[in-house]
Every structure is written in C-alpha cells, then in structure tokens.
C-alpha cells in the first residue's frame, strides 16, 4: 500500500495570498488526484495530475486559481492562488490503487481569513 | 453529476448497536466503494463491491448493492466508539475517477 504525506498539515492564511501544498508518495505512480473538501461537505475532484503532461481540471476549477506541478512520479504540488475565505477547505491528494480504490494523504486543512 | 447521496446525514447510536447508512447514485457503475474519514483527516478505504455483486462482508462491515435501485447500504455491526467518523460512498467512473457521496456522520456513544 502507498504511503502518502502532505505538507503543510494545516495553515492559516490571509486573503489575497497563495499557498502551495505538497504531496509526496513513497512509490512511483503515474496518476495523482487533488480533491477539495469544503467544511461539512463531501470531496470534490479538482484535477488529475499526470507526470509529464498538463493537469486535467474538472469543471469549475481553473489552472490560474489552482496551478499544479508534477515534476516526477512521486511528488506533486497544488497551489491555491489569490485566496479568499471561500477557499477554506481540506485539500487532499490521492493515488489510485489496484482494484480501482484510492489511497489518500492525510489532508491539508486551510483557513483563509 | 454522478455524486451519490447518503442518508442519514448524521447518525448517533450507543456502543454495541448496529449502524446502517444508505447511499444512492445516479448512473451505472463499475463498482461502489465505502470510505471512512476520521475528524477531517484523510480517507481510508473500507470495502469495494462490484456491480455484479449483491453483498460483501469484511469483519464487522456488511455492504449490499442493488443496481436496479442504484443504491447501496453499509452496515456496521456491534459498533464501537472508535467507529465514530464520517462515512462516504464513492462510485467509480471512467479513467480512475471516483465520485464521492455526501457522507454520513456517525457518532457512537460509549
């Protein structure tokens, strides 16, 4: 099973600033996913990050707001740009596992003031 | 949207009782999965049931799937305080994409 770490685990940021979240996997994976979970809500897929290509964004999410990097097969970053209080959420990365399940990182809890 | 809806939204039971959560979804699926999330942390995969299966067991967990009704249920038997968490169903779409339901918040009172 994959072990996934995320940094930071939590942060409090001022509106208008940007935060970059890191996701590190202990094995090489082709695909990584980034999710957002707004307070009291379910998970919503932001984008799929494949190594060596541009990330694929879901409807309602754009690269200018959520730029993603995928420099190698074990690492990805998600940046939340020009933050507003509405961006306060838990951000989670995940990787697919055999049998179509997913392993999730522990999440980054973001509060924007 | 393929997002599933779960009910109840919240459930509070005494330790030792059984907890049942239901999930409904909208489109055809390859499989349905259940995940647990403890206190706003990462999700942990619990169990997967394929579209050609009707029931599956794993320890104290029992999952049923009715594809004709597009619904699934998760039963946790003999609940423990450590089962307190949010539970999400998730349906598998194309290209490894998983869509999560709205979740049930379970509280098990010792």
Predicted pLDDT of residue B3: 62
- With 50 as the cut, is the pLDDT of residue B2 above it? no
Q: pLDDT tens digit string along B24-33?
A: 998 888 889 9
Q: What is the CATH number of domain B5-109?
A: 2.60.40.10
Mean pLDDT of chain B: 90
How do strand B104-109 and strand B10-14 relate by DSSP bridges?
parallel
Q: Any idea which fold A4-112 has?
A: Immunoglobulin-like (2.60.40)
To test the contact with chain B by mutation, choose from A3, A43, A105 the residue with the greatest count of B C-beta atoms within 10 A, namely A43
pLDDT category at B13 given cuts 50, 70, 90 is very high
Number of Cβ within a 10 Å radius of residue B76: 23
Residue of B nearest to A108 (CA): B41
Largest CA distance in chain A: 41
Residue bearing the bigger pLDDT, A84 or A99? A84
Q: In B40-80, where do the E strands start and end?
A: 43-50, 55-58, 61-66, 71-76
Predicted pLDDT of residue B1: 42
Mean pLDDT of B38-62: 92
Percent of chain B with pLDDT over 90: 72
Q: pLDDT tens digit string along A4-59?
A: 999 999 999 999 999 999 999 999 998 999 999 999 888 999 999 988 888 999 99
User: What are the extents of the domains in chain A?
Assistant: 4-112
pLDDT category at B39 given cuts 50, 70, 90 is confident
* A106, B52, B63, B82 from B102: Cα distances, Å: 19, 24, 17, 21
Chain A residues whose beta carbon lies within 8 Å of the beta carbon of residue B30: 100
Mean pLDDT of B7-23: 95
Contact B92 A100 (CB under 8 A): yes
User: What are the extents of the domains in chain B?
Assistant: 5-109
For residue B37, the number of C-alpha atoms closer than 13 Å in the C-beta half-sphere is 28
Residue of A nearest to B30 (CA): A100
């Amino acid at each position: 099973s994959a072990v996934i770490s995320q940094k930071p685990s939590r942060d409090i940021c001022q509106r208008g600033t940007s935060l970059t979240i890191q996701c590190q996997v202990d094995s090489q994976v082709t695909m990584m996913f980034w999710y957002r979970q707004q307070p009291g809500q379910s998970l919503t897929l932001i984008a799929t990050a494949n190594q060596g290509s541009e990330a694929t964004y879901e409807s309602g999410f754009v690269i200018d707001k959520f730029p993603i990097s995928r420099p190698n097969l074990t690492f990805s970053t998600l940046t939340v740009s020009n933050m507003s209080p509405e961006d306060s959420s838990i951000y989670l990365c995940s990787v697919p596992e055999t049998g179509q399940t997913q392993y999730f990182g522990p999440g980054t809890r973001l509060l924007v003031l | 949207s393929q997002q599933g809806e779960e009910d109840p939204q919240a459930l509070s039971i005494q330790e030792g009782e059984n907890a049942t959560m239901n999930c409904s979804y909208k489109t055809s699926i390859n499989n349905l999965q259940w995940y647990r999330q403890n206190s706003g942390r990462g999700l942990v995969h619990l169990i997967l049931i394929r579209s050609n299966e009707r029931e599956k067991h794993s320890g104290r967990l029992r999952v049923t799937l009715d594809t004709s009704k597009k619904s699934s249920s998760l039963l946790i038997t003999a609940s423990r305080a450590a089962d307190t968490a949010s539970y999400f169903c998730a349906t598998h779409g194309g290209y490894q994409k998983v869509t999560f339901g709205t979740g049930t918040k379970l509280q098990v009172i010792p």
